[in-house]
Amino acid sequence: MNDQAANGFDFSVPAASTIAPPIDALFYTLVALSLAVTIVIICCILYFCIKYRRGNAVDRTDSEVKSLKLEDTWIAVPLVLFFALFCWAAVLYARIFTPPPNTLDIFVVGKQWMWKVEHAAGRQEIDALHVPVGVPVRLVMTSQDVIHSFFVPAFRLKQDVLPGRYTALWFQATKPGVYPLSCTEYCGTDHSRMGGAVVVMSQEDYQRWASEKPPAAQEPKP
Amino acid sequence: MTQARTAMARSYLSDGTTIRSWLTTSDHKRIAIMFSIAITAFFFIGGLAATLIRIELATPQGDVVSAETYNKLFTLHGIVMVWFFLIPSIPTTLGNFLLPIMVGARDLAFPRLNLASLYIYILGGIFTIVTVIAGGVDTGWTFYTPYSTMFSNSYVLLAAAGVFIVGFSSIFTGLNFIVTVHTMRAPGMTWFRLPLFVWAMYSTSIVMVLATPVLAMTLALIGIERIAGIGFFDPALGGDPVLFQHLFWFYSHPAVYIMVLPAMGVVSEIITCFARKRIFGYRFMVYAIAAIAVIGFLVWGHHMFVAGESMYAGLVFSLLSFLVAVPSAIKVFNWTATLYKGSISFDAPMLYALGFVGLFLIGGLTGLFLAATAVDVHLTQTYFVVAHFHYIMVGGAVMAYLGGIHYWWPKITGKLYREGIAQAAAVLMFFGFNLTFFPQFLLGYLGMPRRYHEYADRFQMLNVLSSAGAVVLALAYLIPLTYFTWSLFRGERAPANPWRATGLEWTIPSPPPTHNFTHTPQISDEPYAYAPDSRE
């Protein structure tokens, strides 16, 4: 984290998974669209409010507009636009739900108020998740008590973690680094402290890390 | 004293002045007054909780209240604001007062049921206040299982009982409105001559009557699981926690429309009056209200895109959520078009109505982000959602409620308020609101989860802005309280129709006589028979 971040001025969030850029593309399209619609509507309202303010002598004849064509237009245009947005989002949503074959599976257990992670090679960690870059990883998750939610903003992904069943979340990290991990389903007193970090490492580093003997003491919270 | 000064009839305010005459009244207007006092009290209780939340969030550390207290504060804020302010707000006050008058009736169909609705509301309110005194509840207003049933050590049952009880108040009021609109319209008041406010109340009532029982059953199941350990939602007992979410949102998403449809009705009355125009596309406005009420029942799963529902369920709910945005968009376009060639004045009610359109627009557009499944995966459960629903519920519903209170204040109380300070408060509220909630959109995108007592340092700047906005907003909410109180005691006497508005309520004295009309009105025209005078 740089100094700006420490001062609370950091208005960016890294995009560190394969799904993050396409989700951002849709997000910023929605932002642009919303801005455009807001500006057009607000400008119309302001224009009418100024031009037709009471006391301003302007032409108000034929004020009784009844236009089916206008109504139909502003029903049809949003319908088409919304359907397009739905499809765009749906394609990405399906990608989020469909892991590729041969994922690296890592097991995650949520409990009040910590994340316990177990790697295929046997290494365990708490409130941290080490993953290799460039490899599709699938988290197989469950909860020991209440509902939690596994959220990594840099990956633009989250998935609720439920007691009594498994949920899965797959991603492929694209940039080595340390990214915040939060619980986003309210889970009781220390909900806001239930978090940690996702550490994205090169594949060799991950191999070495996973096969290392863990230090005797528990890994410190990053 | 407000002695009836007109020769026609005594005003409802002077027809009996003892406390008993108020508490045992069956006059819809008096019941509306008592409701407005009760919901105003709850608004300030909920607002106090919000204030404490924003003070805590001014710094990243949890340094003002403990984590337990913080969790109880946002739970209290949610429960009080949703069930004890927003849902009853417009229907039980403006709706109660105006709906019978607007359809040309002497009272609601079931006046004593109306009084029962008030007392049930108060009983539910007592449960909520007792919950707070006993030590509070920390589940969040959503009561998610299995936290609420098996893990929370707070007063879940007491709080759930309060919400369970207040639901019957909604059902009674809704039932009353439906029957009144069906059976008590004056001669000539056809369905398509109803003011849009009445259409909004009618649709809202249908949603209340159909959805609220589901909430009652869901809360009852929570009670049974928590008391008897019979498993409905806890997987350890063989239940399914996601089932709870389906049931809860089956009520709670339509509940959003219970809050915003009445607001749309109020705004349609105000904009036409102050633009001196008929509403643009009256029938489309009616169909849009009906469409929102119907489709609103089919979108609840969009709260659960990452909750463990299937991909296909997510896609269907996403499509329906985009669909429900279409009638909302139509309404915004029609309000805008209504201004065209109007003769617009900017009295306080109009400022609130225009503020509503702007804020509802932003709330609606950001709803599209959350309807877009893949984007929702990132944004859900963050401050983006908090900002979005506050734009709809506070920017939308509360602005419209206050606009309506200003618009009908002279009619209800028979007194005028000071226009200048009211306009200033409306503008201040608009800026305070945006400063409070716009930064929360950014916080959400950056990844700050909601319901966080402590947060990472990098989020502090935006939180400070939000808290600063909350100070402005709190101040702006206190101003109307003072000048309205002043108006009650010192305000000028209001004429019958200070805004030169159309609508039956403006044809009778201010304040109205007990039985509203001395003779049954005859209706021969569509509503909003305004014409802009080209010289104005």
Residue that has been written with the tokens 């936290």 in this structure: B147
**Per-residue pLDDT tens over the stretch A107-147:** 999 999 999 999 988 899 999 999 999 999 999 999 999 99
DSSP reduced 3-state for A171: strand
Q: What are phi and psi of A110, to 5 degrees?
A: -95, 140
**Distance set, CA B113 to CA B101, B204, B258, B423 (Å):** 18, 18, 20, 37
Reported ipTM: the value is: 0.93
- Contact between B514 and B10 under an 8 Å Cβ cutoff? The reply is yes
The Cα of A102 is separated from the nearest Cα of chain B by a number of Å equal to 21
The model's confidence at residue B533, banded by pLDDT at 50, 70 and 90, is low
- Contact between B308 and A165 under an 8 Å Cβ cutoff? The reply is yes
- Contact between B191 and B285 under an 8 Å Cβ cutoff? The reply is no
The model's confidence at residue A7, banded by pLDDT at 50, 70 and 90, is low
Q: Is the dihedral of CA B23, B27, B28, B30 positive or negative?
A: negative
Residue A163 falls in which region: left (phi positive, over 0), alpha (psi -120 to 50) or beta: beta
Averaged over B292-317, what is the pLDDT? 96
Question: Sheet of A195-201: strands edge to edge?
Answer: A128-132, A195-201, A177-183, A148-152, A157-161
Contact A163 B235 (CB under 8 A): yes
Q: Measured between alpha carbons, how far is B333 from B364 in angstroms, rounded to an integer?
A: 13
The pair of three-digit structure tokens given for residue B81, joined into one six-digit string: 């604001």
Number of neighbours of residue B2 by Cβ within 10 angstroms: 16
**Per-residue pLDDT tens over the stretch B424-475:** 999 999 999 999 999 999 999 999 999 999 999 999 999 999 999 999 999 9
**Per-residue pLDDT tens over the stretch B396-411:** 999 999 999 999 999 9
Residue A74 forms contact with B (CB below 8 Å): yes
Question: Residue B388: how many CA atoms within 13 Å on its side-chain side?
Answer: 21
The Cα of A159 is separated from the nearest Cα of chain B by a number of Å equal to 5
The Cα of B317 is separated from the nearest Cα of chain A by a number of Å equal to 10
Averaged over B474-486, what is the pLDDT? 96
Q: Name every chain A residue with its beta carbon within 8 A of the beta carbon of B57.
A: none
Q: Give pTM, 2 decimals.
A: 0.95
Nearby residues of A73 by Cβ (< 8 Å), 6 or more positions away: none
**Per-residue pLDDT tens over the stretch A150-168:** 999 999 999 999 999 999 9
Q: Name every chain B residue with its beta carbon within 8 A of the beta carbon of A191.
A: 67, 71, 451-453
Residue A221 forms contact with B (CB below 8 Å): no
**Per-residue pLDDT tens over the stretch B86-130:** 999 999 999 999 999 999 999 999 999 999 999 999 999 999 999
Q: What are phi and psi of A148, to 5 degrees?
A: -120, 175
Residue B75 forms contact with A (CB below 8 Å): no
pLDDT of the residue at B50: 97
Q: Is the dihedral of CA B314, B319, B324, B326 positive or negative?
A: positive
The pair of three-digit structure tokens given for residue A50, joined into one six-digit string: 């100024």
Closest CA to A125 of A213, A28, A14, A8: A213
DSSP reduced 3-state for A183: strand
User: E strands, A42-153, where?
Assistant: 104-111, 114-118, 124-126, 128-132, 136-143, 148-152
Q: Are strands A114-118 and A124-126 parallel, antiparallel or unpaired?
A: antiparallel
From the CA atom positions of chain A, what is the Rg in Å? 25
A·B CB contacts under 8 A: 272
Consecutive H or E run containing A198 = strand A195-201
pLDDT of the residue at A63: 75
Q: What letter represents residue B478's amino acid?
A: L
For the CA atoms of B414, B420, B421, B426, what is the dihedral angle to 10 degrees? 100
The pair of three-digit structure tokens given for residue B15, joined into one six-digit string: 């027809």
Cα B453–Cα B454–Cα B455 angle in degrees, nearest 5: 125
DSSP reduced 3-state for B206: helix
User: E strands, B370-464, where?
Assistant: none
pLDDT of the residue at B4: 41
**Is cis: bond before B511, omega within 30 of 0?**
yes
- Contact between B429 and B355 under an 8 Å Cβ cutoff? The reply is yes
- Percent of chain A predicted with pLDDT > 90: 79
Q: What is the mean pLDDT of chain B?
A: 95
CA A79 to chain CA centroid, nearest Å: 26
**Per-residue pLDDT tens over the stretch B325-363:** 999 999 999 999 999 999 999 999 999 999 999 999 999
Residue A162 forms contact with B (CB below 8 Å): yes
Averaged over A182-210, what is the pLDDT? 96
The model's confidence at residue A216, banded by pLDDT at 50, 70 and 90, is low
Instruction: Indicate if the pLDDT at residue A77 is higher than 90.
Output: yes
Averaged over B216-244, what is the pLDDT? 96
Residue that has been written with the tokens 């078009």 in this structure: B337
Contact A52 B339 (CB under 8 A): yes
The Cα of B429 is separated from the nearest Cα of chain A by a number of Å equal to 18
Closest CA to A198 of A183, A175, A174, A178: A178
**Distance set, CA B178 to CA B168, B171, B527 (Å):** 15, 11, 20
Cα A30–Cα A34–Cα A37 angle in degrees, nearest 5: 140
Number of neighbours of residue B32 by Cβ within 10 angstroms: 22
The model's confidence at residue B203, banded by pLDDT at 50, 70 and 90, is very high
Nearby residues of B54 by Cβ (< 8 Å), 6 or more positions away: B436, B466, B467, B470, B471
Closest CA to B196 of B353, B342, B324, B351: B353
> What are the respective helix, strand and coil percentages of chain A, to the nearest 5?
35, 30, 35
